[in-house]
Amino acid sequence: MEIRLLKSSFDDDGSASNHQHTACFVVNGEVAFDAGSLAMAVGADRPNVRDIVLSHTHLDHIAGLPLFVDDLFSTLRSPIRVHASRAMIEALRTHIFNDVIYPNFEEIENDFGKVLQFREYEFEREFRVSGLSILPVKVNHNEPSAGFMISDASGSIALTGDTADTAAIWETASRRDDLRAIVIECAFPEQMSRLASTARHLTPLGLKAELEKLDRNDLPVYVVNIKPMFREQVVAEIDALELSNVRIFPVGGLVAV
């Protein structure tokens, strides 16, 4: 399985920055998990993405969705399929695709037909998308928010999405004999622990506590969704924990597990 963390910002010289402002992961070049930076995708990933799986509807996870549909509008021969919970779909219909913030692309067709289709998933019920088996699991962020167990023929990964201390995803992951990697958030440094608790995110010590629930030091752990303003501090605090299997997911990078 291959996972790419799409770029979301650029330095003054136009090169991709290692700061992650928005969240979008493309798995096996075809399925996007969240869509924060999807409209900025170029190269090999973008032409093949027709399925988007949402963890929740905070702006940094959906910002690129309407622009992505808009950009591809005239070329789409089949609709972009957005997989989300019922509450997430209703939020998108009410607050984004409402002909006020952005056109209602559910009702607009190109020469080939529909361009946007919502597909509802249920928590704790596995579904298949483009060769992947995906199990949404509730995590501790805004309501509702999902983490995912993502599986293909090569094995499974756990993708937490945004979360604070949580339980179900670790209980699920512990039952997977084919678990190959963990992708987990860590948004704030310890000095911002009160804000992290309020916003339901992790700090480095919280990250460590979550990983101890799984107790699998043999698995590679990739840290994502670090707030850009605190990136250097969060990375330094994670390094200080001396967790040998934990590394920072490179923005724009590709990880094969």
Are residues 47 and 162 located together in one domain of the fold?
no
Residue 178 near residue 120, CB atoms below 8 Å: no
**Does the pLDDT of residue 194 top 70, yes or no?**
yes
Pairing of strands 2-5, 25-27: antiparallel
The dihedrals phi and psi of 235, each to the nearest 5 degrees, come to -60, -45
Are residues 231 and 132 located together in one domain of the fold?
yes
Q: Which residues of 206-221 are buried (b: 16+ CB within 10 A; e: fewer)?
A: bbbebbeebebeebeb
Could you tell me if residue 48 is inside a domain? yes
Tokens of 149: 């167990």
Question: How far, CA to CA in Å, does 168 sit from each of 138, 172, 174, 176?
Answer: 7, 6, 10, 13
Are residues 173 and 198 located together in one domain of the fold?
yes
Determine the Cα–Cα distance for residues 230 and 238; give it in Å rounded to an integer.
12
Are residues 115 and 180 located together in one domain of the fold?
no
The single residue listed with the structure tokens 């440094």 is 189
CA 214 vs. chain centroid, Å, equals 20
Are residues 236 and 133 located together in one domain of the fold?
yes
Tokens of 144: 């509702």
Are residues 151 and 234 located together in one domain of the fold?
yes
Number of domains observed in the structure of the chain: 2
Q: Which long-range contacts (CB under 8 A, 24 or more apart) does 7-15 make?
A: 7/37, 7/40, 7/251, 7/252, 8/36, 8/37, 8/40, 8/251, 9/228
Domain limits at 12?
Answer: 1-84+86-120
Are residues 130 and 116 located together in one domain of the fold?
no
The single residue listed with the structure tokens 């930076």 is 37
Could you tell me if residue 257 is inside a domain? no
The number of residues in the chain equals: 257
pLDDT score at 20: 80
pLDDT score at 107: 96
Which of 94, 120, 146 is the last residue in one of the domains? 120
Dihedral (C-alpha) 137, 161, 39, 51: value to the nearest 10 degrees?
A: -20
**Does the pLDDT of residue 44 top 60, yes or no?**
no
Q: What is the mean pLDDT of residues 90-100?
A: 98
Could you tell me if residue 256 is inside a domain? no
Are residues 57 and 99 located together in one domain of the fold?
yes
Are residues 148 and 240 located together in one domain of the fold?
yes
Could you tell me if residue 214 is inside a domain? yes
Are residues 130 and 189 located together in one domain of the fold?
yes
Which of 120, 137, 164 is the last residue in one of the domains? 120
Are residues 33 and 52 located together in one domain of the fold?
yes
pLDDT (tens digit, 9 = 90+) per residue, 64-76? 999 999 999 999 9
Tokens of 213: 């629930």
Residue 67 near residue 39, CB atoms below 8 Å: yes
**Does the pLDDT of residue 91 top 80, yes or no?**
yes
What CATH number corresponds to the domain at position 188?
Answer: 3.60.15.10
pLDDT score at 48: 86
Question: How far, CA to CA in Å, does 103 sit from each of 57, 87, 96, 179?
Answer: 17, 20, 8, 41
pLDDT (tens digit, 9 = 90+) per residue, 129-172? 999 999 999 999 998 999 999 999 999 999 999 999 999 999 99
Could you tell me if residue 19 is inside a domain? yes
Are residues 48 and 162 located together in one domain of the fold?
no
Could you tell me if residue 255 is inside a domain? no
pLDDT (tens digit, 9 = 90+) per residue, 195-222? 999 999 999 999 999 999 998 889 999 9
pTM for the structure as a whole: 0.94
Dihedral (C-alpha) 175, 177, 183, 188: value to the nearest 10 degrees?
A: 40
Could you tell me if residue 9 is inside a domain? yes
C-alpha torsion sign, points 59, 64, 70, 75: negative
| pLDDT-above-70 percentage for the chain | 94
